Amino acid sequence: MFFTSDNASGAAPEIMAAVARANEGFARSYGADDIMVRVKAQIRQIFEAPEAAVYLVAVGTAANALALASHCQPWGAVFAHTDAHIAVDECGAPEFFTSGAKLVPVDGAHGKMTPETLAQTLGRIGESGVHGVQRGMISITNVTEAGTVYTAAEVAALTAVAKTHGLPCHMDGARFTNSLVTTNTSAADMTWAAGIDVLTFGGTKNGCLGVEAVVIFDPAKAWEFELRRKRGGHLFSKHRFLSAQMEAYLTDDLWLRLANHANAMGGRLARGIKALPDVHLRHPVQANMLFPEWAAGTHARLEAKGAAYYQMPAPEGREGARLVASWNTTEAEVDLLLDALKS
């Protein structure tokens, strides 16, 4: 019963097989491999963005930080939700890659900024001329850290606020595919059509070994991104092994199938939990992450039965948890956890 994180799962067999297959003969290094030519075409087609610049890196933090640095000056403010990964879980990588930009937290229930909270926070920054940091860009995480999902319309409403200040808009899509599946939205509608300029398109958490695409819808930023990637130590020499993962991921809708499964398992778990007395779900369950709160003592009982997950702070007498379903979580595992909770 492993619900710690979708990055505790391994790679989907199709993806592992593709990596093995890529290991034949010689290949041009540093992104000039043949597979990457096909990956670019795949992504441009999926996103209906024939001009988009497409790059691969192995780590989500790198994808985010490079995307931000390519769109925000050192004296810029990056507006993101208070709990955003870039703000709290990357050890200052955005500050490092941007040479010192400031992350400005935007509030909002269930991990989501609202046009109102964003507008209000934007209004507080950049009004003092040269004395304060300048409005730089916004970053929207979808799926959010709370496991909730922005619809394309909600994304568009946020980017509309940003655009009134001329700000570029980033989406941290470490779990991007899960958000598409939840909302039954196309990749294009969730991104450039909704005002997103640059996307971290995650593969790692959804069944790859370690690969994230950065999709830049305005190719004018492409060369700067390439230099930043190299300078950041994120340009792979044997790049084919990144390309192969992404190619397999995008072939035959594997990316969608994997996310669909993870979301389904999240939903099954949520339905089961909702039926239990004395367990409260802190956030709506819209993808593959759940944040239950239950009576004190439950952790010990679940641990004894072999359940693994992150514990979260909770009020006196209660316990909090984060449960993440993955591309390879089974119904049996879900049901085992539910049984353990019931007992």
Residues 111-130 that bind a second copy (CB under 8 A): 128, 130
48 or 107: CB nearest a second copy: 107
How near is the Cβ of 195 to a second copy at its closest, in Å? 25
- Binding of a second copy by 237 (CB under 8 A): yes
Ranges within 209-228 binding a second copy (CB under 8 A)? 209-210, 224, 226-228
How near is the Cβ of 88 to a second copy at its closest, in Å? 6
- Binding of a second copy by 82 (CB under 8 A): no
Q: Which of 100, 272, 284, 320 binds a second copy (CB under 8 A)?
A: 100
7 or 42: CB nearest a second copy: 7
- Binding of a second copy by 16 (CB under 8 A): yes
- Binding of a second copy by 303 (CB under 8 A): no
Q: Which of 45, 74, 219, 305 binds a second copy (CB under 8 A)?
A: 74
Q: Which of 28, 271, 305, 342 binds a second copy (CB under 8 A)?
A: 28
How near is the Cβ of 328 to a second copy at its closest, in Å? 9
- Binding of a second copy by 101 (CB under 8 A): yes
| 3-class SS of residue 51 | coil
CB-count burial class (<10 Å; 0-12, 13-18, 19+) for 268: middle
Distance CA 287, CA 161 (A): 26
- Binding of a second copy by 255 (CB under 8 A): no
Tell me 129's DSSP state.
G
- Binding of a second copy by 30 (CB under 8 A): yes
Q: Which of 36, 52, 83, 90 binds a second copy (CB under 8 A)?
A: 90
- Contacts of residue 245, Cβ cutoff 8 Å, sequence gap at least 6: 11, 15, 18, 19, 203, 208, 209, 210, 211
Distance CA 161, CA 45 (A): 28
218 or 224: CB nearest a second copy: 224
Interstrand relation of 310-312 and 289-290 (parallel, antiparallel or unpaired):
unpaired
Hey, what are 119's tokens? 């507008």
Which residue's entry shows tokens 């398992």? 265
How near is the Cβ of 136 to a second copy at its closest, in Å? 10
56 or 171: CB nearest a second copy: 56
- 54-77 in b/e form (b: 16+ CB < 10 A) is bbbbbebbbbbbbbbbbbbeeebb
Share of the chain residues as helix, strand and coil, in percent rounded to the nearest 5: 45, 15, 35
How near is the Cβ of 110 to a second copy at its closest, in Å? 19
How near is the Cβ of 234 to a second copy at its closest, in Å? 7
Ranges within 47-66 binding a second copy (CB under 8 A)? 57-66
The number of CA neighbours under 13 Å toward the Cβ of 93 is 17
Distance CA 169, CA 191 (A): 10
- Binding of a second copy by 306 (CB under 8 A): no
Closest CA to 106 of 90, 127, 86: 86
Ranges within 311-330 binding a second copy (CB under 8 A)? none
| 3-class SS of residue 166 | coil
